């Protein structure tokens, strides 16, 4: 094969994907925007953090490509055919409800007059939630080893150096994500208590307060969405528990902001955390759109799958514009999802 043609065909960044896999546009999913000096020391936690400079690079990346920035309401209207878009769209969403959405992201979006959504987990905003991925980081840097009971056996994980801390973090994450409602909370609280960590301190320090959420809800550029009460892995919950988590967060945010809450983001929206059962249970709470963390673009076929809209997330560990371009064109999603275009729960 001619080397040039070969490069064009094989290069995953190839624009050849764009006509077929870039779709109507892209929903971007972000969490924390924080300076490099404050980024986490654990790789998994860095994956939800990007710097303000890179965040602004993302906004300019889509502006240069003539994408129209739209809100979740406009996305819903565009998919339903009630809003005609004459170019591709980008829709920005943030999950959990971090304070940096208020202190940093809001100013940058305001500068460009770009709308965005913040999907808040209500117990984090109350300051009582377990922001356990950051608690674990504090715990692992506070001790030489972590001891805990699991199914009647005593376990001990070393956290004396960087690689053992990363391993311990992954082991504890797997355990926590596999526990149902009460067991999860008891496990995290016991672990924190035993190692001198306040399990709620990180939520109080890192997350928005209700006065911030109310102020943002009144900003015409900002949509406040729901992200459950306690941020559980839905696969560990019953249908009733899932519905309660979704419906309660919607009710609480509506009451606190005095505004309708019509959009929802699944806590842990990947293949291991939400599928058809979990989606159907949460959908009963009644939302216009529900977003996952499957990484793919939006197509007209999503009109029939408003409860499973994929989003592109850029990890702080691999934050480059060339990677973003491979998502935007659909090159990475095409390969990840077997060259399907309308990605839902697969």
Q: What share of the chain is helix, strand, coil (3-state, %, to 5)?
A: 50, 15, 35
Q: Alpha carbon 1 to chain centroid distance?
A: 41
199 vs 267, beta carbon nearer Zn ion: 267
26 vs 293, beta carbon nearer Zn ion: 293
Could you give the 3-state DSSP secondary structure of residue 150?
A: strand
Binding mask 166-185 for Zn ion (x = CB under 5 A): --------------------
Residues paired with residue 112 on neighbouring β-strands, in sequence order? none
Q: Sign of dihedral through CA atoms 199, 200, 201, 207?
A: positive
Where on the phi/psi map is residue 169: left (φ > 0), alpha (ψ -120 to 50), or beta?
alpha
Residue 194 is classified by DSSP as H
Q: How far is the CB of 103 from Zn ion (least distance, A)?
A: 19
In this structure, the number of other CB atoms found within 10 A of the CB of residue 281 comes to 21
Q: How far is the CB of 267 from Zn ion (least distance, A)?
A: 5
Q: Of 101-109, 211-219, 263-271, 286-294, which part binds Zn ion (CB under 5 A)?
A: 263-271
Q: Which one of 49, 74, 96, 262 is in contact with Zn ion (CB under 5 A)?
A: 96
Q: How far is the CB of 217 from Zn ion (least distance, A)?
A: 19
Q: How far is the CB of 207 from Zn ion (least distance, A)?
A: 11
* Nearest Cα residue to 76 out of 91, 65, 66: 91
Question: 337-343 — which CB contacts under 8 Å span 24+ positions?
Answer: 337/294, 337/296, 341/20, 341/21, 341/23, 341/296, 341/297, 341/299, 341/301, 342/299, 342/301, 342/302, 342/305, 343/294, 343/296, 343/310
207 vs 331, beta carbon nearer Zn ion: 207
89 vs 98, beta carbon nearer Zn ion: 98
Q: Of 74-82, 128-136, 264-272, 316-324, which part binds Zn ion (CB under 5 A)?
A: 264-272
Q: How far is the CB of 266 from Zn ion (least distance, A)?
A: 8
49 vs 95, beta carbon nearer Zn ion: 95
32 vs 51, beta carbon nearer Zn ion: 32
95 vs 307, beta carbon nearer Zn ion: 95
Q: Of 87-95, 203-211, 254-262, 315-323, which part binds Zn ion (CB under 5 A)?
A: 87-95
Could you give the 3-state DSSP secondary structure of residue 246?
A: helix
H helices within the chain, ranges in order?
3-10, 18-21, 43-46, 52-64, 72-80, 99-100, 106-112, 122-126, 132-142, 162-177, 181-194, 201-206, 210-217, 239-257, 276-283, 321-328, 331-336
Token pair, residue 228, equals 């459950």
50 vs 146, beta carbon nearer Zn ion: 50
Using CB positions, name the residue nearest to Zn ion. Answer: 95
- 95 lines the binding site for Zn ion (CB under 5 A): yes
- 245 lines the binding site for Zn ion (CB under 5 A): no
Q: How far is the CB of 244 from Zn ion (least distance, A)?
A: 17
Q: Of 202-210, 211-219, 240-248, 267-275, which part binds Zn ion (CB under 5 A)?
A: 267-275
Q: How many residues make contact with Zn ion (CB under 5 A)? A: 3
Q: Which residues bind Zn ion (CB under 5 A)?
A: 95-96, 267
């Amino acid at each position: 094969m001619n080397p040039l043609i070969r490069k064009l065909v094989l290069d995953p960044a190839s624009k050849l994907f764009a006509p077929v896999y870039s779709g109507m546009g892209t929903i971007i999913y972000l969490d924390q925007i924080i300076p490099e000096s404050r980024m986490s020391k654990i790789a998994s936690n860095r994956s939800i953090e990007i710097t303000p400079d890179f965040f602004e690079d993302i906004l300019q990346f889509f502006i240069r490509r003539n994408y129209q920035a739209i809100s979740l309401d406009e996305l819903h209207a565009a998919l339903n055919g009630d809003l005609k878009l004459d170019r591709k769209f980008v829709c920005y969403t943030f999950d959990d409800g971090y304070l940096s959405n208020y202190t940093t992201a809001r100013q940058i979006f305001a500068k460009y007059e770009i709308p965005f959504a913040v999907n808040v987990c209500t117990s984090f905003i109350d300051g009582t939630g377990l922001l356990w991925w950051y608690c674990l980081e504090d715990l692992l840097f506070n001790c030489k080893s972590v001891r805990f009971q699991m199914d009647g056996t005593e376990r001990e994980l070393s956290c004396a150096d960087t690689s053992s801390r990363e391993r311990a973090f992954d082991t504890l994450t797997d355990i926590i994500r596999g526990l149902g409602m009460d067991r999860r909370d008891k496990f995290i609280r016991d672990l924190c208590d035993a190692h001198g960590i306040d399990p709620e301190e990180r939520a109080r320090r890192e997350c928005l307060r209700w006065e911030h959420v109310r102020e943002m809800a009144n900003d015409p550029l900002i949509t406040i969405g729901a992200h459950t009460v306690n941020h559980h892995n839905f696969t560990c919950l019953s249908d009733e528990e899932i519905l309660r988590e979704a419906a309660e967060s919607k009710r609480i945010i509506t009451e606190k902001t005095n505004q309708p809450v019509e959009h929802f983001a699944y806590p842990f929206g990947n293949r291991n955390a939400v599928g058809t059962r979990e989606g159907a249970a949460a959908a009963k709470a009644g939302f216009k759109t529900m977003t996952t963390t499957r990484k793919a673009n939006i197509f007209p076929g999503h009109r029939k799958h408003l409860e499973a809209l994929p989003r592109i997330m850029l990890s702080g560990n691999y934050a480059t514009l060339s990677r973003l371009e491979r998502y935007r064109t659909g090159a990475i999603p095409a390969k990840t999802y077997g060259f399907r275009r309308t990605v839902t729960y697969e």
